[in-house]
Amino acid sequence: MNLPEAEIMSVTEDIAKLRNATKSFDGINERNRWGFYGSEIESYISSFSTVLPVDLLEFFREKQSPVIIDLMAHTGSIRNLCNRTGIVPKIAVSVSLQDQRTKGEKDADANLNIYQLAGNLLNFETWRKLSAMLSEQKADLIMERAVLGLIHIPGSKKFYNLALRGLWNILDENEGLLLLQTHNIQQLQKTGVNLINWVKEVEKCGVTVNLDAKKRALMLQKHPNSSIDLPKF
Ligand SMILES: C[S@@+](CC[C@H](N)C(=O)[O-])C[C@H]1O[C@@H](n2cnc3c(N)ncnc32)[C@H](O)[C@@H]1O
């Protein structure tokens, strides 16, 4: 992750406003609030079905000890992926505003090397902690299926550039998969995030990229010959 660049987050006005808005979520019962929370992996697969280049479960059955990240999520979804495929990750991290796991969930996660990082993605500190947990290891799968949680994430050029380029940095070059639910594509266009044009640029960088504008589903797959950086919006 390009940490110095991420410092911009602390000074960007729209990010500061949203960061304040998430404070009203402090202490809420996440399980009751969100509807989708700790969803089964099949539910993610259904959201990304039109952009996935591989069968996700098969992809994992072939991995020895993958590194997995699920942004804006409870650990339940990664645990379900592990249980479905029989894999034990080298490390898996879910990032959510709070850690509200039960004792039973914490024990099950500990057996599978799954961690819940409680933190706001609008705080630079959360990205720094994520980076420290990975300690230079690259991710085989990075997912974000935030659903309602996207109201807390700015659909701005600055944030998309920071987040996408930062996540690209920690994605493994050996067919690592990045699955992202985006904001509404038309709304994004108004802020200068033209995903359709950007995808055309990304294709020129040796990257497999699929966008389903209707489903707001974006997939990038990194290969050994892919560019080190992604184009900017
Ligand atoms: C709808 S829920 C989770 C959806 C989950 N991915 C699923 O499919 O089951 C939204 C999640 O986003 C998290 N969230 C919302 N705003 C966030 C932020 N600014 N930083 C980190 N996590 C955030 C919430 O804590 C919650 O875990």
From the CA of 37, give the closest atom in ligand 1: 9
**Ligand 1 centroid vs 224 CA: distance in angstroms?**
31
Check if 36 has its Cβ closer than 6 Å to any atom of ligand 1: yes
As a 3-state breakdown, the chain gives helix, strand, coil percent values, each rounded to 5, of 45, 15, 40
Q: Whose CA is nearest to atom 14 of ligand 1?
A: 72
Q: Give the per-residue pLDDT at 2.
A: 54
Handedness of CA 45, 49, 53, 54 (dihedral sign): positive
Angle at 157 between CA 218 and CA 145, to 5 degrees: 30
Give me the DSSP letters along 37-49: SS--HHHHHHHHT
Residue 192 CA to residue 141 CA, distance in Å, equals: 27
CATH superfamily of 3-221: Vaccinia Virus protein VP39 (3.40.50.150)
From 43, 96, 105, 151, mutation site for ligand 1 pocket: most ligand atoms within 8 A of C-beta: 96
From 26, 71, 97, mutation site for ligand 1 pocket: most ligand atoms within 8 A of C-beta: 97
Residue 1 CA to residue 128 CA, distance in Å, equals: 9
Check if 77 has its Cβ closer than 6 Å to any atom of ligand 1: yes
pLDDT digits (tens, 9 = 90+) for 29-86: 888 888 888 999 999 999 999 999 999 999 999 998 999 999 999 999 999 999 999 9
Check if 30 has its Cβ closer than 6 Å to any atom of ligand 1: yes
Residue 165 CA to residue 4 CA, distance in Å, equals: 13
Q: Give the per-residue pLDDT at 3.
A: 47
- Spatial strand order in the sheet of 141-144: 114-118, 91-96, 67-71, 141-144, 177-181, 217-221, 208-212
Q: Give the per-residue pLDDT at 200.
A: 98
Residue 3 CA to residue 95 CA, distance in Å, equals: 18
**Ligand 1 centroid vs 19 CA: distance in angstroms?**
14
pLDDT digits (tens, 9 = 90+) for 123-159: 889 999 999 999 999 999 999 999 999 988 889 898 9
- Between 226 and 148, residue with greater pLDDT: 226
Helix (H) or strand (E) segment spanning residue 161: helix 157-169
Q: Give the per-residue pLDDT at 30.
A: 84
Check if 121 has its Cβ closer than 6 Å to any atom of ligand 1: yes
Does pLDDT of 161 surpass 80? yes
Residue 29 CA to residue 25 CA, distance in Å, equals: 9
For tokens 């994520």, the residue is: 130
Mean pLDDT over each residue of the chain, to the nearest integer: 92
Q: Give the per-residue pLDDT at 26.
A: 74
**Ligand 1 centroid vs 206 CA: distance in angstroms?**
31
Helix (H) or strand (E) segment spanning residue 223: none
Lowest-confidence segment of 35-39, 93-97, 197-201 by average pLDDT = 35-39
Q: Give the per-residue pLDDT at 1.
A: 56
Residue 32 CB contacts under 8 Å (≥ 6 apart), including other chains? none
Does pLDDT of 201 surpass 90? yes
